[in-house]
Amino acid sequence: MSQYHAIVVGAGFTGVAIAHDLALRGFRVTVVERGPIANGTSGRTHGLLHSGARYAVNDQESAIECIQENQILRLIVPDAIEPNGGLFIAVDESDLEYREKFIQGCEECKIPIRELTPKEALRIEPNLNPKLLTAFTVPDGTFDPLRLALAFAATAKSNGAVFHLYTDVVDLLTDGQGNIKGVKVWNRAADKRFEIEGDIVVNATGAWVGQITSMAGIRVPIAPTPGVMVAYDKRLTQRAINRLNKPGDGDIVLPQRRMMVVGTTSFSIEDPDYVPVLPDHVALMIERGSELIPALRQTKERGAYMATRPLIGSGAPGRSISRTFKAYDHKETDNVEGLVTITGGKATTLRLMAEKTVDLVCKKLGVNVPCTTAETPLISYRKFYVD
């Protein structure tokens, strides 16, 4: 088989999962990333391995993707996951009104849930709001964002993928007729500029996809949508705690190592390169988070940060946009050959995003090799650094 060379731009969740999938399917793979692994949105996720229940009412496509990928990630990358489950809890009447829709949505999406009495819920998680009205168990988990990404990157590397970190894409190489033949890069660590030629360029830069496509004169409908997350200095539950209601600000509180993380807000920006942590958003997180776990109020803030989700669509307010993803073949959308863009989605669905993107790349290049990432356990994340 002639070996095609794929250049992946971006080493966040999508980029590393694509590099892994491409390498498994026999491609020669080069990854170009302007920072270290997972330095943008991916590293800054709160780390919820979604059961899908959060989306089971409003966005069932995302919910079904989540529950399926949740089960797969537990098996292929156990090193990065606290698989302790989650709870959805109702603390007021409006939450209770959501109960029926929630049960129906989870059933339709095949998300296994079980209703607990308030007493049962407080017995397994004594720090929950004692006024809670009902609770459901869901198969959530917590993941370590960097190590999840590193496990994909390490496995890709062991299968031959080459990573250029701290390397910016400064332009796209073209064949003179507007078709993409590779990338011009600037390695900032060595302060060296060079060109990399490839058969296909995969733009996996998440909220930043527009910066790459604009080099080819292409616009993609992406809405960079940041939200704040706040980490607190004590672990107060074993499970991820979700508000039983439609998605909203500060409706997820999850444990991670010795911390609790509360997220998130949602607003729009133009340039995702630097997003300030807004103090009123931080205040809102403690407000909303303590409605679920009152002891958060007595807990010290440990860190506060912003992450910018890449939501597909433009103009619409953040919460109403689907959390699913889309791969664009720019030959079809803009008559530019050699460039594929993947964006949208969420951390829990990184493997699936890669599968669909690489399916598209394979179809374009006439490569007939099936995806095997769902059955392939990843190697230790440490192997990214240790040969």
Partner 1 sequence: MSEEKWTVNFVVYRKKGEGAPHYQTFTLEVSPEEYVIDGVERIWAFHDRSLVFAHACHHSTCGACGMRVNGVEKLTCITRIRDVTSNGGTLRIEPLRNFPVISDLVVDMSRLYVGMDKVHAPAVHPLSMAPLEGEGIKPPREVPMDDGKEYLRLADCIECGLCISACPVAGTAEEYLGPAVLAAAQLQGLGRAPDLTAVVDCVDGVWRCHSAYECTAVCPSSVDPGWRIMDLRRQVLAQRIRRWFGGA
Residues forming the site for partner 1 (CB under 8 A): 35-39, 42-44, 47, 78-85, 114, 123-126, 137, 142, 144-147, 149, 166, 168, 188-192, 229, 231, 234-236, 238, 256-259, 261, 273-274, 276-277, 279, 282-283, 302-305, 380-382, 385-386
Peptide bond into 341 cis (omega under 30): no
Q: How far is the CB of 270 from partner 1 (least distance, A)?
A: 14
Closest CB to partner 1 among residues 41, 129? 41
Closest CB to partner 1 among residues 272, 344? 272
Beta-bridge mates of residue 183: 172, 196
Nearest-CA neighbor of 207 among 228, 222, 227? 222
Q: How far is the CB of 43 from partner 1 (least distance, A)?
A: 3
Q: How far is the CB of 235 from partner 1 (least distance, A)?
A: 4
Closest CB to partner 1 among residues 39, 376? 39
Beta-bridge mates of residue 30: 7, 162
Distance CA 188, CA 202 (A): 21
Q: How far is the CB of 72 from partner 1 (least distance, A)?
A: 17
Q: How far is the CB of 195 from partner 1 (least distance, A)?
A: 19
Contact call for residues 304 and 282 (beta carbons, < 8 A): yes
Residue with tokens 């400064």: 170
* Edge-to-edge order in the sheet of strand 141-143: 48-49, 141-143, 81-82
Closest CB to partner 1 among residues 30, 142? 142
Q: How far is the CB of 273 from partner 1 (least distance, A)?
A: 5
Q: How far is the CB of 21 from partner 1 (least distance, A)?
A: 22
Closest CB to partner 1 among residues 147, 323? 147
Query: What single letter denotes the amino acid at residue 275?
Result: V
Closest CB to partner 1 among residues 146, 365? 146
Closest CB to partner 1 among residues 129, 137? 137
Q: Tell me phi and psi for residue 165, to 5 degrees.
A: -90, 165
Q: How far is the CB of 365 from partner 1 (least distance, A)?
A: 32
DSSP letters for 63-129: HHHHHHHHHHHHHH-GGGEE---EEEEE-SHHHHHHHHHHHHHHHHTT---EEE-HHHHHHH-TTS-
Distance CA 99, CA 116 (A): 13
Closest CB to partner 1 among residues 139, 338? 139
Distance CA 79, CA 245 (A): 31
Distance CA 100, CA 336 (A): 48
